[in-house]
């Protein structure tokens, strides 16, 4: 019961150049990377087994629908799954900019930097603490693992293979899959680059999971349940508290389960929305949903003893 478990929604990656769930819908409609890439690579659509007509129909229907995310739209519109996953992959791969990931400002932290220093300000301290942190992410992007990988090398001057070994031993669970394994973790993985091609999009779509509402537990959610079962704290960051996501995430615990301190960001949520979000959890969790942004929550709540 010593693990701090951070549960990440789309808002958690927004600081690092990735769109929120709502922004992604509009990005696909208003500035589709897939369409721009097809104009420079006419074989792109055929290589991805999609057509121009199919993509136009998909992005128009997505934009006009009331769906709160592309994923929810695809859960309910199975015929668009392939073209939808290609659209998601191309938009997010284009956001994989190392400069956006690594830049620092003179006056303010961003939350990865703040958290990194809370895990450890020396290599020995980091080694002592890092396995007490776990991350369950609903996001496809790999910004967190790449940030940690690069910064372990930059901060402590350790070889990149050593940095990779430390990241491999951390719990970073992408419950809906990812844009592909990082290159530093797999020979068949992909670097953190905005490279749009048939190969990079296809690789990403093979790793993205769109689950239907009646889908049984996946291996990734089962792994997440085990991590939650050993949590000292559950911290929701940039999470929208969607009903289906909470249902899949939170298992039914037995009577001996020790309910951890549970808190989350709810910046911009109205009072009724907070009440509804809390109602999705077992009352024994007694979740606190604050009006903090992510960095404000990390700085104002006692999460790092």
Cα dihedral 164, 138, 94, 34, rounded to 10, equals 140
Same domain assignment for residues 58 and 155: no
DSSP label at 208? B
Residue 216 lies in a domain: yes
Same domain assignment for residues 6 and 106: yes
Of the residues 61, 76, 93, the one at which a domain ends: 93
Are 180 and 198 contacting, i.e. CB atoms less than 8 angstroms apart? no
Same domain assignment for residues 286 and 146: yes
Same domain assignment for residues 221 and 75: no
For residue 116, which of 147, 157, 162, 153 has the smallest C-alpha distance? 147
Residue 126 lies in a domain: yes
Same domain assignment for residues 218 and 288: yes
Q: Which residues of the chain have pLDDT under 70?
A: 1, 216, 255
Same domain assignment for residues 86 and 140: no
Position 38 scores a pLDDT of 85
Give 116-131 pLDDT, tens digit per residue.
999 999 999 999 999 9
Position 273 scores a pLDDT of 96
State how far the Cα of 244 lies from the Cα of 215, in Å rounded to an integer: 11
Position 282 scores a pLDDT of 87
For residue 72, which of 115, 117, 17, 10 has the smallest C-alpha distance? 10
Distances (CA, A) of 142 to 136, 235, 257: 12, 19, 32
Same domain assignment for residues 43 and 113: no
Of the residues 38, 71, 93, the one at which a domain ends: 93
pTM of the model: 0.95
Position 217 scores a pLDDT of 76
Helices and strands in the chain, H and E counts: 16, 6
Burial class (CB in 10 A: 0-12, 13-18, 19+), 192: buried
Same domain assignment for residues 80 and 116: no
Domain count of the fold of the chain? 2
Full domain range(s) for residue 153:
1-15+98-176+211-305
Give 167-214 pLDDT, tens digit per residue.
999 999 999 999 999 999 999 999 999 999 999 999 999 999 999 877
Position 52 scores a pLDDT of 92
């Amino acid at each position: 019961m010593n693990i701090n478990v951070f549960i990440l929604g789309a808002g958690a990656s927004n600081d690092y150049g990735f769109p929120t769930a709502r922004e992604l819908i509009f990005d696909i409609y208003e500035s589709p990377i897939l369409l721009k890439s097809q104009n420079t690579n006419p074989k792109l659509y055929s290589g991805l087994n999609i057509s121009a007509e199919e993509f136009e129909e998909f992005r128009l229907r997505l934009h006009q629908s009331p769906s709160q995310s592309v994923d929810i739209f695809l859960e309910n519109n199975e015929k668009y799954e392939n073209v939808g996953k290609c659209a998601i992959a191309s938009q997010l791969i284009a956001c994989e900019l190392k400069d956006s990931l690594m830049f620092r400002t003179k006056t303010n932290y961003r939350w990865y930097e703040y958290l990194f220093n809370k895990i450890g300000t020396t290599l020995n301290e980091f080694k002592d603490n890092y396995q007490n942190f776990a991350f369950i992410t609903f996001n496809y992007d790999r910004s967190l693992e790449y940030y940690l990988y690069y910064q372990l090398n930059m901060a402590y001057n350790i070889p990149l293979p050593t940095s990779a070994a430390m990241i491999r031993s951390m719990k970073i669970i992408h419950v809906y899959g990812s844009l592909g394994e990082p290159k530093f973790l797999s020979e068949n993985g992909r670097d953190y680059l905005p490279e749009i091609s048939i190969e990079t999009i296809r690789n990403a779509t093979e790793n993205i999971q769109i689950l239907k509402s009646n889908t049984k537990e996946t291996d990734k959610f089962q792994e997440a349940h085990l991590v939650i079962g050993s949590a000292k704290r559950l911290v929701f960051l940039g999470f929208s508290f969607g009903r289906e996501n909470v249902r899949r995430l939170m298992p039914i615990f037995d009577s001996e389960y020790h309910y951890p301190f549970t808190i989350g960001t709810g910046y911009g949520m109205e009072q009724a929305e907070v009440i509804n979000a809390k109602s999705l959890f077992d009352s024994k969790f007694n979740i606190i949903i604050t009006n903090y942004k992510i960095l404000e929550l990390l700085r104002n709540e006692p999460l790092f003893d």
